[in-house]
Amino acid sequence: MDLSIYNVIVGPVITDKAYKLNRDLKKLVLWVHPAANKPLVKEAFKKLFNVEVDNVRILVRDGKVRRVGRRIVKGITKKKAIVTLAEGYSLDLFDQGGAEMVASDVEKTAK
């Protein structure tokens, strides 16, 4: 299966842990296509965002097995990549201005 670089990265993983990895260690956590591999993710990231990639780790999260009535169903299996940027490069997926705006709104409503 030939994947273009535009189909490799599905989207960012938005969790507290992903936010901390991005802020503290300059690592990005992304959902990727199930057929993507490390070299393909690295190449796509370099071309799309113009940054140097130091390391790529791939994790496969199996779907949960659940019981629905008499049937046993399995959820969707997803693949995620943790991309470590090279020294001197940074990419902020989580807008810092948005966090400041939310904090100022909370202060206004608290008064």
Q: pLDDT class for 88, splitting at 50, 70, 90?
A: confident
Tell me how far CA of residue 15 lies from CA of 25, 43, 73, 108, in angstroms.
15, 25, 26, 26
Alpha-carbon span 84 to 18, nearest angstrom: 12
pLDDT at 23: 86
Angle at 101 between CA 87 and CA 31, to 5 degrees: 50
Q: Can you name the residues that pair with 32 across neighbouring β-strands?
A: 9, 79
Domain that holds residue 60: 5-110
Number of independent structural domains in the chain: 1
Q: What percent of the chain has pLDDT over 90?
A: 57
CATH number, domain of 84, equals 3.30.70.330
Q: pLDDT class for 96, splitting at 50, 70, 90?
A: low
Provide the whole-model pTM.
Answer: 0.76
